[in-house]
Amino acid sequence: MQRRKIGPPRGGLVQPMLGIGLALAVFLATIECGTAAQEEFPSVRRSKCTQSNDRLRVYEGHDNVLMKRLAALRTEMRTRTSTQSVELDAYLVPAYDEHQSTFLMESDQRVQFLTGFTGTIGEAVVLQHSAALWTDDRFLAQADQELNCAWRLYRTGERPTVAEYLLSELTPSARVGGDPQLIPHQQWKALEGELSAEFIRLVPINRNLVDMVWGARRPASSALKVHPVRFAGERWDAKVAKLRANLTALRCDGMIVTSLTEIAYLLNLRGGDIPHVPVFKAYLLVTHRELLLYTNGSRVTHGIKNHLKAHSCHNENCVQLREYGDVWRDLRTMAQHWHRLLVPAAIVFDTGASEAIHAVLPHNIVFERPSPIIFLRAQKNDVEKRGMRQAHIRDGVAMCEVLSRLEERFVAGDRITELSLAREIDHARKIQNNSEGIAFPTSVASGKHSSLPNYTPTNRTNAELTESMLLIDSGGQYEDGTTEVSRTLHLGDPTPEQIQAYTNVLIGMIRLSMLTFPENLKPAELDALARGPVWGSMNDYPHGTGHGIGSYSAVRESPISISYTAKQRFTFKEGYFFSNEPGYYKPGAFGIRLENVLEVIDTGKTHPTGHKFLAFQDVTLVPFEWKLIDRTMLSVPEKKWLNGYNARIRQLVGSELKRMHKMDAFYWMMNKTRHVPEYVSEADYNGAAPSTYGRLPFVNVITVALLLARCTLN
């Protein structure tokens, strides 16, 4: 269906600096256009924007600064000097940097600068008469609150797609611009194909227009540091040798590495360019004869050069250093001598190389395939496996210490807010041995906020903790591992509905953890185990059940993704680590998520087909909420698993807490991990009802000692 092209509002709105009144005029003109996409594809209803006759009306609290930025971007779209003599009808603003990273440097947060949306998943499209943002279910509520009413909001994975939106808004011969360095090649080609069918051009704009509005910002310049072999478990030149063997098998002359986590892993280097992920901005070119690292040379110290053997480097076993921007010149020059170059393709959480990388290379030499580094990195060596286990013990110590104080202080009447508790959790991790900070922003969600699957408190939303459900999602970066854990507590008396929902989530988590399976089983096929109990209550959760996790790297790592909607062919291998995180969310009421990190282990047994039997071992060691578990809902094997898990917490975390003389946290932990009778009826629990017998107050040392007479304390 072809639509009338709606031009920009009249009134000479081409000046980059707009007054408040003029910005409002732009917005009202935008509203009155009544665009075609809104008629054909209704957007997500905005809670703070009233709707009438399918037209959004202005909300008095809209942000005039953001309106000015939107107007200034539209001016850049019309200004020929900034768009290489091409006037644009639409402009794409993806939530990526040049390396398609999930977390971004502040200077790369272009979607946030333009829209005010702070979520990590979002894609914006700006036309002269409309603007829209796509995000997934986890961030919809957050986007609704943070976007002003100039923006339509759409759900990723549902209609309209970005292409459908553009086709409904634009007429043939229209031009859509985008920065090819920020858009993955696969996405670029898919969008280009859909638009060209309607004679709409996708135009590469090498000067980013949001940057033109934003102005100069600080480049990446954090210090680099060596990740020592005592944590990495393997020298970098040994890793490069494995990669080159893979390239030989694929008959490739080399590969261009664009992922920052892959470069950090391969060279045993870490940096601080991006919050929460210990990486640095760089490209790496690997051939059979050379290694070239492109990064900001001012931060390469003498020690880093020694580590990389970069002094007088003239062979294949040392790293030549180049400036970050030189990669484009070298790719053009060196491509003349290559027959086949591996360029990373999209795989699970990695989107592959950018359109700009593909555009600079001759098409006939490009071999597009998932990076072999992803599979080398996912299978942890013995040192990394031991480090991940030790990191989770220290992480368990930090969480037990914070949660024990939380209950005691709450009962005492202290005022505790979501943000203050998040800061306490972050501090508790920071003081642990080998700590390198947090792995992602800590989420503390109290009451109704817990029903938002990806809620993170801000100064605007910060709430005081009450006698309600409390969901905590957090993780740490340690030199020997990365952690992630979610726990749901209740600071009052839970309802039977909440107890049942929590227990269903716990059962799903246990069923996945208990599984023994042949190694050729696909991760997606495990999803029903965890979701089954939640599905049984006619509910579901809007996120995957699990994802791979790195070792002192990204908290979300390919190639493992557990979701029944995933179509990945990749299977588990011994030494993989991944999350197990089922949930339950009742909109506007409460939410539950439980998350452990699991290690894939080899059972030593063989399936009749010859495949190995694999199993899982939980490495996260943080107690569950005793008062929210209905033990009558658990089967005997599930009770055995819970008792075994609690025994490991008492042994591993308990011994550390005692060694550190943190006895309040120790006794709190012991109370939360007490033994569950496996073959006794619920009536034997002193006749208490399932929904009430577990509600124990914070108890003193003597009381706990009596309760735990059966436990052996190390």
Percent of the chain past pLDDT 70, that is, above it, reads 87
Provide Rg for the chain, Cα atoms. 27
Tokens 């002359």 — which residue? 253
Q: Per residue in 166-194, is it b (16+ CB within 10 Å) or e — as a string?
A: bbbbbeeebbbbbbbbbbbbbbbeebbeb
Of 368, 415, 123, nearest to 250 by C-alpha is 368
The span from the CA of 226 to the CA of 701, in Å, is 45
Over the stretch 70-107, which tens digit does the pLDDT of each residue have? Answer: 999 999 999 865 666 679 999 999 999 999 998 999 99
Share of the chain above pLDDT 90, in %: 79
Structure tokens at 275: 């919050």
Q: What is the pLDDT of residue 21?
A: 45
Residue, of 48 and 222, whose pLDDT is higher? 222
- For residue 629, give Cα distances in angstroms to 451, 581, 638: 19, 17, 12
Residue 271: closest CA among 283, 280, 258: 280
pLDDT tens profile 231-267: 999 999 999 999 999 999 999 999 999 999 999 999 9
Phi, psi at residue 525, to the nearest 5°? -75, -10
Give backbone dihedrals phi and psi of 68, rounded to 5 degrees, phi first.
-65, -40
Average per-residue pLDDT in the chain? 88
What is the token pair recorded at 602? 């080899």
**What amino acid is encoded at 522 in this protein?**
K
pLDDT in tens, 509-560: 999 999 999 999 999 999 999 999 999 999 999 999 999 999 999 999 999 9
Q: CB neighbours (10 Å) of residue 498?
A: 22
Distance in angstroms (rounded) separating the CA atoms of residues 625 and 615: 25
Residue closest to 689 by CA, chosen among 643, 625, 630, 628: 630
DSSP conformational letter for 364: G
Which residue(s) pair with 55 in the sheet? 52
Which residues lie across from 473 on neighbouring strands? 443, 486
- Report the predicted TM-score, pTM, of the whole model to 2 decimal places: 0.88
- Segment among 33-42, 387-396, 452-461, 513-522 with least mean pLDDT: 33-42
The DSSP 8-state label assigned to residue 417 in this structure reads B
